[in-house]
Amino acid sequence: MEWIKDGNLDFLKKRKVEAREDAQKSVAEIMNRVKSGGDEALKAFTKQFDGIALEAIQVTEDQMTAAAARVPKPVLQAIKQAARNIRAFHEKQIPQSWTETVDQGVVLGQKVTPLDSVGVYVPGGTACYPSSVLMGAIPALVAGVKRVVLVSPPQKNGLIADGVLAAAHEIGIHEIYQVGGAQAIAALAYGTESIRSVNKIVGPGNLYVMLAKKYVFGDVAIDSLAGPSEIAVVADDSANPSWVAADLLSQAEHDRLSMPVLVTDSEPFGRQVEQEVEKQLKELPREAIASESANKQGKIILTANLQQAADVINQIAPEHLELATREPKEVLKFVRNAGAIFLGKYSSEPVGDYFAGPNHIIPTNGSARYASPLGVESFIKRSSIIEYSDEALQANGQAIAAFARFEGLEGHARAVEKRMKGAVIHE
């Protein structure tokens, strides 16, 4: 891990992953071919990229039940408990419709409606992430979305991973398609013979999935463009260096581009963590990935005090933030930019990745400056309600017409004036 002792955070400027032009071109081509070719194009791309000759695109109920039966009991139990926790947390996020009489004859309000349909992308290939199913789909279900669709690429055996199907089965998702990559995003956005299009697509994926989501953005909604993820730990010398090192590595094992960052006011503590990282790395199954992440992206940032540490955090805007200090809430006060915040030394990041309830689909790559974790808000929309009585229109019509006319929009002024008594000017 690289030490930074002079407050120079220039490394943040290099965080952005520039999409290569050739990747953008291939994605545009995939999108167009799925638009015109439908299911046939989906199957051709699945053969080409996943090496699988799909017979059916949709997963059957029998396949789901069989998959669930193959998942070990304790894991199924953990999935069930996690699903309960995630549902309970997201139920606290449901916004309410309201209307209010704000003035004589003036009623204003907001009507909250769930989206009609949503597609959840679950990464696949070599990995199996039932947690992504829970985190992507449960907030949509809690929001009241009627049609929640799952897509995930088939594994080498030609099926979506058991754990993914088991998690979907557990929470009552029945519409699942075994396609992945940019072609799955195209199908969700534009529809094919088998897959009806949806209003919004969420969930993380690889570079091609990300570029495909940017491509369809504006035709449908998307959650965000996921990039390399971060964990930042703010720790003082009261923290346990072995625990902190393990948490840094839990992020590092995700991806070579993941960035594990320790921000501390204690240089000796930083050195202990550094040694622990090196020690624990050697015993990790995913050592190759984790060590590249730790060595190339990892940072230990030394600050004069913990308030300065919070300033550093606000510039990093990390996806995950652990506050492993004596008084974590004192540091929390100064934190503005972070996706998920873990308070105190027992709140290890994986607690949130799987289990606690808050979402693990969190803004990455510094976008916690302006974005929120996935949640019920991601799956509802608000309509404004405006109701003026005759009386209210008479009282305010002149001001409205004057404003409209000043903007050169005579038609707007007249629409109001037509309703005004004794002032029917333009008929």
Binding site: what residues are annotated? Answer: 121, 183, 206, 229, 251, 254, 320, 353, 407, 412
Whole-angstrom CA distances from 288 to 127, 253, 293, 294 are 16, 8, 9, 10
Using the rule CB under 8 A, is 327 a contact of its own copies? no
Stretch that binds its own copies, among 38-46, 181-189, 267-275, 385-393 (CB under 8 A): 385-393
Write down the least CB distance from residue 188 to its own copies, Å: 13
Using the rule CB under 8 A, is 412 a contact of its own copies? yes
Using the rule CB under 8 A, is 288 a contact of its own copies? no
Using the rule CB under 8 A, is 334 a contact of its own copies? no
Using the rule CB under 8 A, is 113 a contact of its own copies? yes
Whether 365 and 204 have beta carbons less than 8 Å apart is answered as no
Whether 262 and 233 have beta carbons less than 8 Å apart is answered as yes
Gap between the Cα atoms of 298 and 284, Å rounded: 17
Using the rule CB under 8 A, is 368 a contact of its own copies? yes
Provide the token pair at 387. 């109701």
Kindly tell me which residue out of 223, 253, 265, 274 binds its own copies, with binding defined by CB under 8 A.
253
Q: How many residues bind its own copies (CB under 8 A)?
A: 127
Q: Residues of 67-104 as b/e, b for ≥16 C-beta within 10 angstroms?
A: bbeebeeeebeebeebbebbbebbeebbeeeeeeeeee
Kindly tell me which residue out of 243, 298, 299, 306 binds its own copies, with binding defined by CB under 8 A.
243
Kindly tell me which residue out of 35, 87, 256, 414 binds its own copies, with binding defined by CB under 8 A.
414
The smaller minimum CB distance to its own copies, of residues 43 and 213, is found at 213
Using the rule CB under 8 A, is 53 a contact of its own copies? no
Q: Which of 230, 274, 319, 322 is catalytic?
A: 319
Q: Residue written as tokens 């009507």?
A: 111
Half-sphere exposure of 382 (CA within 13 A, CB side): 14
Beta bridge partners of 382: 112
Stretch that binds its own copies, among 51-59, 176-184, 249-257, 262-270 (CB under 8 A): 249-257
- Annotated active-site residue 55? The verdict is no
Half-sphere exposure of 330 (CA within 13 A, CB side): 11
Whether 378 and 357 have beta carbons less than 8 Å apart is answered as no
Write down the least CB distance from residue 410 to its own copies, Å: 5
- Annotated active-site residue 320? The verdict is yes
Give 198-256 as a DSSP string: -SEEE----HHHHHHHHHHBTTBEE-------EEEEEE-TTS-HHHHHHHHHHHHTT-T
The smaller minimum CB distance to its own copies, of residues 44 and 284, is found at 284
Kindly tell me which residue out of 150, 351, 422, 423 binds its own copies, with binding defined by CB under 8 A.
351
Give catalytic residues, as residue numbers. Answer: 319-320
